[in-house]
Amino acid sequence: SAIAVNISSGHASVQLQAVSRELVSALRYARGQALISRQQVTVAMDLSENSYKISHRKKVYSFDADIEMTVVVADSEFDGDAVAEIRFFADGSSTGGRITLEWANLLTQIDVNWLTAQVKIVDESE
């Protein structure tokens, strides 16, 4: 049974890292599109559905319901219905924020700098 627990926790770790990297890629893509198009681009995260969507795209990206997502953004970027947005502007800035993904005892935090719109994973721990 010890082996099964280790395999299970390893799977959770790999899956959480994969979701984190995909979300980081989506945020960086949105930043790049804002710069190229010279228009605002948002990434909307639906906390109740464990999903996110990039503006001007129809696809909704979902992830495992066992992953708990919390988002810290400006009040103006939270609609009150469990959807939080991070907005990227044509000048290279953003509204900024922090996204935390948590699964069991695993945690990943993604920061978006409001001034530079730099996106990075700042903390991964078990």
**Angstrom distance (rounded) from CA 101 to CA 99:** 7
**Angstrom distance (rounded) from CA 96 to CA 43:** 11
pLDDT at 56: 87
pLDDT at 48: 93
Q: What is the pLDDT of residues 34-50, one digit of tens each?
A: 999 999 999 999 999 99
Q: What is the pLDDT along the chain (126 residues), one digit of tens a residue?
A: 444 444 445 677 888 999 999 999 999 999 999 999 999 999 999 999 999 999 989 999 999 999 999 999 998 898 877 999 999 999 999 999 999 999 988 999 999 999 999 999 985 544
* Residues contacting residue 94 through CB under 8 Å, at least 6 positions apart: 31, 86, 87, 88, 112, 113, 114, 117
